[in-house]
Structure 1
């Protein structure tokens, strides 16, 4: 049952992100984004439900090629219903990216370094 919930959530996330991709023509090119790879490798680490867990090597391989500030410009309230921006920042940092404090991603603002 948990597996089917995960697959449903992954599909829902893919639909949301794909909708964003269509709504904002050129987002994929502007942000150097591979939406299918991002969803398939990282969705379980950034979904709103569930604990914060370190990302896999495959997820990091995708994330390390992303322009996080660019992507953050396109985060809508609909995306935030499924994707935790706090977890996105956690995953990015876990994968070795620097996410500047004060960066706005949807309604989330990256907090100052502790």
Structure 2
């Protein structure tokens, strides 16, 4: 029997996928950006959801993130809309990216979020 929490997570993931499809249908993005989004959603979405604490990403999530280059970051950042920001935490996105070795440059703007400096 599924719990209410499970239903909420499924709904959040469904909304994220719907938003992703909408974004891809309405924006011209690089082919690589389009190709990686489904893998990012399936492997990393649980680590970037708005509710909950920061959790180190899985090896599978990092494998997908490592396929992204610094040059690809603007493509992904252009896809961040207010609707996407309601579903995912940009702070967690940067945490996951940096934890997986993707150096997201400070000052990068993703939606309404500006990436802060990396604190050591």
TM-score w.r.t. the length of structure 2 is 0.85
Q: Is the 8 A contact 1:45 1:55 kept in 2?
A: yes
The offset of 1:70, in angstroms, is 1.9
In the other structure, the counterpart of 2:109 is 104
Q: Is the 8 A contact 2:24 2:34 kept in 1?
A: no
Q: Is the 8 A contact 1:63 1:92 kept in 2?
A: yes
Structure with higher Rg: it is: 2
Greater Cα offset, 91-100 or 67-76: 67-76
Aligned pairs, number: 113
Q: In structure 2, how many angstroms separate the alpha carbons of the residues matched to 1:33 and 1:89?
A: 20
Residue by residue, what CA displacement relative to the aligned partner does 1:46-90 show, whole Å, maximum 9, x if unpaired? Answer: 111111101111111111112223210221111111111111100
Q: Is 1:19 equivalent to 2:36 in the alignment?
A: no
Structure 1 gaps of 5+ residues are none
